[in-house]
Amino acid sequence: MIENDPSKRGTKGIVATIILAVVSLFMLLPIFFAVINSFKPYSEMMTSFISFPSKIDLSNYAKAWKVANYQKSFWVSLVITAFSTIGTIIFASMAAYKLARTKTKLSNALFMIFVFSMTIPFHAIMIPLVQLANRMHITQSIQGIIPIYWGMYIPFAIFMLHGFVKSVPLELEEAAMLEGSSPFHTFFKIVFPLMKTPAATLAILDALAIWNDFLMPMLILSGNPNLKTIPMTQVNLFGQYTSEWNVAIAGLVLGLIPCLIFFLFMQKNIVGGLIAGAVK
């Protein structure tokens, strides 16, 4: 980019840096205030919300950790996220492969159904979906919410992987078929390893979305006190500590930490995947 040439930058570069620094500060401000207040005892917080804490006091964190039972909800969230993501990727890649390779009217129609379901907002199917889950007796259980997540995330995954499969050469599969390999064997031994990169990107995006989701666990899991995901615990914690913001905020920071660590390590994949998903 020519604007990035150092010799051409001059005053415009300085002005841009200043504006961007102010914007970055604004982006960090809410997290900054959350962190400083999470260290204050109640009385200190009530005298000022914007001063630095007089000392680093971790008792809010201890309280939030215990009251919200974070350890448990961390595992609940992790199990739901992991199995939902893995299932989505496996089923979607199988279907995307077959749909891309079969050129019949049926295959085309099925692909259109998948693409069409991407445009339906969740709120438009929410009521019958919950009713269906009730009738099948799969509410209030981890085994129940996981297949529902498969259904929710498969359409987009098929759409992305379908495009990728079309770019993979046919020769390898044809050779395998000639040797008498079954469709499942061909898929898992030959095609799936080739799909690793787009599948990993999708897995990261889906995992993030499922980890952060609140409405679905609230609709499907609520009623079972043992099954609370992290967003559900946080809503409960804030309900319990409406005035004691210091404890609630400490609980919030605890929930922020895994997200931010994930972001630091996966930044390139997240940003790259979102761009690929949006532009397609």
Which residues ranging from 122 to 151 are in contact with other proteins (CB under 8 A)? 122-129, 131-132, 147-148, 150-151
Do residues 202 and 89 touch, judged by C-beta distance below 8 A? yes
Do residues 280 and 159 touch, judged by C-beta distance below 8 A? yes
CB of 224 to other proteins, least distance (A): 17
- Which residues are CB-neighbours of 60 under 8 A, at least 6 positions away? 38, 39, 40, 41, 246, 247, 249, 250
Nearest to 226 by CA among 142, 130, 150, 133: 142
- Which residues are CB-neighbours of 223 under 8 A, at least 6 positions away? 139, 140
Count of CB atoms situated within 10 Å of the CB of 256 = 13
Kindly state the tokens that stand for 273. Answer: 């995947």
Instruction: Rule CB under 8 A: say whether 175 interacts with other proteins.
Output: no
Instruction: Rule CB under 8 A: say whether 30 interacts with other proteins.
Output: yes
**Considering only residues 142, 181, 183, 200, which one is a binding residue for other proteins as defined by CB under 8 A?**
183
CB of 57 to other proteins, least distance (A): 18
Contact window for other proteins (CB under 8 A) among 52-60, 64-72, 172-180, 249-257: 249-257
CB of 183 to other proteins, least distance (A): 5
**Considering only residues 54, 59, 72, 263, which one is a binding residue for other proteins as defined by CB under 8 A?**
263
**Considering only residues 86, 238, 244, 269, which one is a binding residue for other proteins as defined by CB under 8 A?**
238
User: What distance in Å separates the CA atoms of residue 127 and residue 33, rounded to the nearest whole number?
Assistant: 38
Closest to other proteins by CB, 58 vs 215, is 215
CB of 62 to other proteins, least distance (A): 20
Instruction: Rule CB under 8 A: say whether 250 interacts with other proteins.
Output: no
CB of 199 to other proteins, least distance (A): 14
Binding to other proteins in span 46-75, by CB under 8 A = 48-50
Closest to other proteins by CB, 58 vs 126, is 126
Nearest to 233 by CA among 214, 210, 216, 257: 214
Closest to other proteins by CB, 59 vs 182, is 182
Q: Tokens 């009713």 belong to which residue?
A: 131
